[in-house]
């Protein structure tokens, strides 16, 4: 690490305090610290001190006070991250927040609300695309059953998808030669994929095989978890901010923080940045469908369906909000997930597990994607300009509310 003149003593002190507060919080919530590759001594200090939640809350307020007169982008980011630490400390002490307040305080953003009628109009378009007997949900899931990647082909398909994402990313973003990842297949998780960043430019990427993995998910997961998504995001933070600038706040990643909206939003936007619709269809037909033993002739109609299903993504936020606030029972939320979001029953049950575990985190995927896309595409018109803005967004201390500027 070689600190430079962009690391003034006050912000360096605040950054260290922030990291230690996040480590202390992690002892109260095992999911809180998503990644840490800072000094082991700081971890040991947290273990030795075992700070109480009220102590963390008080120390966070003291640290925030140090930033009162600081207004640079880095200070704004530290302030937002510390405010999220404060919110989480209050929540773990029993404070109940409504869904939108939770998302604002933890993720610096609030998702729009839509009625059931809004989504039913979109479901009607899918009804037209897939006419026939039974519910729209039944027809969608019967059609999608043709696109499941066989278990014995999953690694080959995922390897090819990740390799393609990496090739596209390296055309625009230089990465350290030693960066790498390990791909694992796991089960019994509430998520479909996860990137565990280990530091030193290394990731462990896990794909959950509890439920069928459909062919379209190969590109989605490959781009989101690896290139140009989470793996690239974390590599850039480590290289450009922690090592090059000495900004130690980035050696830790608290999951319930504004950083997650940037991370999830860029990871999702990175999919369409890497592949235009035509490029993706061509790649899937030529490479992925044959590897999976699926019929490439079915790809265009499946792609058309997936474009319509993507328009239903905000239903996740609305279902989660109503379910977590108690205006939808568990049974009613499952019904929404099946008949509005058009998930199969088993996926719907898994989704409720995610809401229960993660609360308002769900907004980071779709709202984050839309905010990242809008920000990046305001910075230029060419693909190269979009990639440059995307890279800058991933390796700068920009906050979600600042993406609208």
**C-beta separation of 159 from 183 below 8 A:** yes
Q: Which residue has the tokens 């479901």?
A: 123
Indicate the burial class of 133 (C-beta count within 10 angstroms; 0-12, 13-18, 19 or more): exposed
Condensed to tens digits (0 to 9), the pLDDT of residues 233-252 reads 999 999 999 999 999 999 99
Report how far apart, in Å, the C-alpha atoms of 249 and of each of 35, 58, 75, 212, 256 are.
Answer: 12, 19, 11, 38, 15
Condensed to tens digits (0 to 9), the pLDDT of residues 171-200 reads 999 999 999 999 999 999 988 999 999 999
Condensed to tens digits (0 to 9), the pLDDT of residues 313-372 reads 999 999 999 999 999 999 999 999 999 999 999 999 999 999 999 999 999 999 999 999
Instruction: Tell me what percent of the chain is helix, strand and coil, each rounded to the nearest 5.
Output: 65, 5, 25
Domain positions in the chain are: 9-107, 116-177+214-404
Q: CB under 8 Å to 37, separation ≥6 — which residues?
A: 197, 198, 199, 200, 238, 242, 251
Report how far apart, in Å, the C-alpha atoms of 132 and of each of 294, 305, 390 are.
Answer: 23, 15, 43
| 254: helix, strand or coil | strand
Residue 2 has pLDDT above 60, yes or no: no
The confidence score (pLDDT) of residue 6 equals 74
The confidence score (pLDDT) of residue 1 equals 39
Strand-by-strand arrangement of the 180-186 sheet: 180-186, 202-208, 193-199
Closest CA to 141 of 248, 45, 214: 214
The confidence score (pLDDT) of residue 251 equals 98
Residue 207 has pLDDT above 80, yes or no: yes
Condensed to tens digits (0 to 9), the pLDDT of residues 108-147 reads 999 999 999 999 999 999 999 999 999 999 999 999 999 9
| Averaged pLDDT for residues 290-294 | 98
Condensed to tens digits (0 to 9), the pLDDT of residues 48-59 reads 999 999 999 999
């Amino acid at each position: 690490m070689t600190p430079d003149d962009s690391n003034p003593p006050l912000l360096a002190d605040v950054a260290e305090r922030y990291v230690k507060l996040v480590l202390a919080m992690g002892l109260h919530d095992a999911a809180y610290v998503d990644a840490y590759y800072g000094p082991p001594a700081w971890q040991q200090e947290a273990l030795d001190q075992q700070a109480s939640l009220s102590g963390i809350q008080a120390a966070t307020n003291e640290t925030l006070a140090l930033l009162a007169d600081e207004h640079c982008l880095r200070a704004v980011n530290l302030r937002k991250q510390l405010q999220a630490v404060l919110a989480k400390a209050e929540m773990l002490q029993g404070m109940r927040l409504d869904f939108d307040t939770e998302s604002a305080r933890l993720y610096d953003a609030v998702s729009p609300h839509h009625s059931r009628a809004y989504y039913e109009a979109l479901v009607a378009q899918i009804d037209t695309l897939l006419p026939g007997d039974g519910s729209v949900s039944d027809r969608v899931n019967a059609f999608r059953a043709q696109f499941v990647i066989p278990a014995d082909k999953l690694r080959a398909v995922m390897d090819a998808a990740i390799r393609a994402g990496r090739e596209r990313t390296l055309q625009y973003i230089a990465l350290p030669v030693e960066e790498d990842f390990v791909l694992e297949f796991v089960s019994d998780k509430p998520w479909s994929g996860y990137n565990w960043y280990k530091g030193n430019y290394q990731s462990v990427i896990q794909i959950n095989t509890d439920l069928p993995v459909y062919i379209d998910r190969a590109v989605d997961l490959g781009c989101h978890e690896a290139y140009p998504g989470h793996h690239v995001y974390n590599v850039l933070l480590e290289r450009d901010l922690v090592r090059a600038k000495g900004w130690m706040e980035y050696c830790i990643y608290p999951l319930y923080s504004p950083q997650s909206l940037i991370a999830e939003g860029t990871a999702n936007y990175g999919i369409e940045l890497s592949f235009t619709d035509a490029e993706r269809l061509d790649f899937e037909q030529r490479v992925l469908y044959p590897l999976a033993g699926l019929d490439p002739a079915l790809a265009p109609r499946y792609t058309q369906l997936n474009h319509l299903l993507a328009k239903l993504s905000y239903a996740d936020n609305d279902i989660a909000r109503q379910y977590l606030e108690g205006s939808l029972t568990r049974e009613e939320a499952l019904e929404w997930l099946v008949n509005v979001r058009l998930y199969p029953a088993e996926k719907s049950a898994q989704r409720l597990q995610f809401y229960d575990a993660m609360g308002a985190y769900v907004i980071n995927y779709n709202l984050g994607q839309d905010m990242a896309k809008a920000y990046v595409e305001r910075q230029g018109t060419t693909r190269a300009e979009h990639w440059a803005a995307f890279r800058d967004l991933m390796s700068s201390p920009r906050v979600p509310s600042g993406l609208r500027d």
